[in-house]
Structure 1
Amino acid sequence: MRENDTFGWQWRDVAVAVGLLTRLPLSLPDDAYARGARASWAYPLAGAVVAVLAAWVAALAQAVGLEPQAVALLVLLAMVMMTGAMHEDGLADMADGFWGGWTRERRLEIMKDSHIGSYGVIALILALAARWWGLSVLLGQQDGLWALVGVAALSRAGMPVLMAWLPNARDGGLSKAQGRPSRRVALIGCGVAWAVAVFCTGWAAIGLALLAALAVAGVGLLAKAKIGGQTGDVLGASQQVCEIALLLALSLP
């Protein structure tokens, strides 16, 4: 049996997911977090909450007449602040570890180090630039704010999938502490994300979901080859890669 394999969804899981994946001020009893990976189906909803709040920032910025490029910058800043740059940190650590070490052990050691290296800096610069450009195009389009919410949900659907698919690469860390969800939990998370995406983007969500799946599969296969499994950094990086892919796809003419 996998850890936390029993599934019985609770509405409180949404608050647990928000508390885990964001810095939004929530007061939950300690036993709420004991559900661990069983609450991972709600990760896409946590992303949707972040995006809705960021969309309010965008709407206010648009109302005062700011250009899409400036609006995109404010939205990006809002999302980074609300998540505490958790996913960005994961991307940087994964880039440093995967390309800075020659063995599995050394890669994991580098990923655990709090210092950031050249690969991590380059990954962050490119990722932030890609997200800013994609957001600047998207927010200049009609219904761009709705699409932002769909992207946020879909980009987090792959996290429970990776948790269920790949073993933990190390004995400690945030991902290990949450446990591994059942495939049913991961599938429900994907269904929730797709439902949000359909509501926000219409049937374009079909193509977006396929693209997100490819992005997650790519990150997962890379992680399996490099460290033999997943860590919290890999999960965060998968969110970033998915978000970038979806924003760029939506920004195409």
Structure 2
Amino acid sequence: MRSQLELFFIALGFFSRLPVPGWVEFSPDKLGRAARFLPLVGWLIAAIGAAVFWLMVQVLPVELAVVLSMAATIRATGAFHEDGWADTCDGLGGGWTREQVLQIMKDSRIGSYGAIGLVLMLLAKYLVLSALGADEDYPVLAALLVAHPLSRLAAVSIMAVLDYARTDNSAKSGPVARRPDAGELGIATLAGVLPLLLLPGTAALAALGLSVVVVLMALRTFARRLGGYTGDALGAVQQLSEIAIYLGVLAAWSST
């Protein structure tokens, strides 16, 4: 049990900016095995976002509560996944060959494709979360609690199917780049799908279905353009899946 708890804290320390106990010892091998807990880390990020929204909406307009909730989750992760989304937009938008795409994605500077993609992604999140937050039943809370774990499961799913695209493992995500085994994937799947119970049946199906669509599209794109995945690509999948889940919940909620 202590070893599993340590792996969870390693995942928490790598995929977020939340504090971890001092006794936790990081190593490349442990980091590779800690990816199973990425959806569980999403539980904590989701709880932060939902708590900030709930507190702020008591005294502020819904739109401002949404902005502060988004800011809190970005602060909690250090914009880890948003950065991956922006780099992936730059690479896929500006590169023609596999080598060009990977080289662009490795550049820490943001380009036009990345800047535009990041603005559009944040704007889309703001609009859909504001729409969900405007409902007096506050489905935005359930949407947040579902989207963060499930979207991180989408990233783990990519790791379970594709190989790591880089050969030098020099990137920050290099130590994580190992294919999860059946047990690890089972843990990630349970943590990722369990929050769907918070949603009505149609909303849960819509959220899960759109997340699967994102994974399938990402698998095809990454296999063709990258020959595998990178850490930035996983961040992009998490962001795309997150917004897709929000859209699914909103569409299902609006139709009832």
Question: Distance in 1 between the 2:231 and 2:106 partners?
Answer: 10
Question: Distance in 2 between the 1:162 and 1:68 partners?
Answer: 34
What is aligned with 2:34?
A: 39
Identify the range of structure 1 (188-197 vs 11-20) with the bigger mean alpha-carbon deviation. 11-20
Matched, 1:186 2:181: no
2:43 equivalent among 48, 59, 74? 48
Q: Is the 8 A contact 1:100 1:107 kept in 2?
A: yes
1:26 equivalent among 20, 36, 40? 20
Matched, 1:168 2:164: yes
Residue type of the alignment partner of 1:103: T
Partner deviation per Cα, 1:27-80 (whole Å, 9 max, x = no partner): 34224764223222211111110110121111111111x221111111111111
Q: Is the 8 A contact 1:161 1:187 kept in 2?
A: no
Q: CA deviation at 1:183?
A: 3.9
Overall identity of the aligned pairs, in %: 36
Q: Is the 8 A contact 2:204 2:249 kept in 1?
A: no
Taking the TM superposition and a 5 Å limit, the aligned residue runs for 1:141-156 are 141=135, 142=137, 143-156=139-152
Identify the range of structure 1 (203-212 vs 113-122) with the bigger mean alpha-carbon deviation. 203-212
Question: Distance in 2 between the 1:230 and 1:88 partners?
Answer: 16
What is aligned with 1:220?
A: 219
Partner deviation per Cα, 1:112-137 (whole Å, 9 max, x = no partner): 01111110011001100001111111
What is aligned with 2:116?
A: 122
Residue type of the alignment partner of 1:110: I
Q: Is the 8 A contact 1:168 1:175 kept in 2?
A: no
Question: Distance in 1 between the 2:177 and 2:13 partners?
Answer: 17
Q: TM-score, structure 2 length as denominator?
A: 0.89
Question: Distance in 1 between the 2:73 and 2:80 partners?
Answer: 10
Identify the range of structure 1 (28-37 vs 78-87) with the bigger mean alpha-carbon deviation. 28-37
State how many pairs are aligned.
Answer: 244
Partner deviation per Cα, 1:194-213 (whole Å, 9 max, x = no partner): 11221x22433233222211
Q: 1:206 to 1:41 in 2, by over 3 A?
A: farther
Matched, 1:77 2:42: no
Q: 1:58 to 1:33 in 2, by over 3 A?
A: farther
Q: 1:11 to 1:47 in 2, by over 3 A?
A: same
What is aligned with 1:234?
A: 233
Q: 1:32 to 1:205 in 2, by over 3 A?
A: farther
Query: What is the RMSD of the two structures over their aligned residues, measured on CA atoms?
Result: 1.9
Residue type of the alignment partner of 1:125: V
Question: Distance in 1 between the 2:128 and 2:78 partners?
Answer: 21
Q: CA deviation at 1:12?
A: 3.2
What is aligned with 1:10?
A: 4
Q: Is the 8 A contact 2:50 2:69 kept in 1?
A: yes
Secondary structure, aligned partner of 1:10:
helix
Question: Distance in 2 between the 1:205 and 1:32 partners?
Answer: 37
Unaligned runs of 5+ in 2: none
Q: 1:202 to 1:192 in 2, by over 3 A?
A: farther
Q: Is the 8 A contact 1:40 1:186 kept in 2?
A: no
Matched, 1:201 2:195: no
Q: Is the 8 A contact 1:170 1:231 kept in 2?
A: yes
Q: CA deviation at 1:190?
A: 1.7
Q: TM-score, structure 1 length as denominator?
A: 0.90
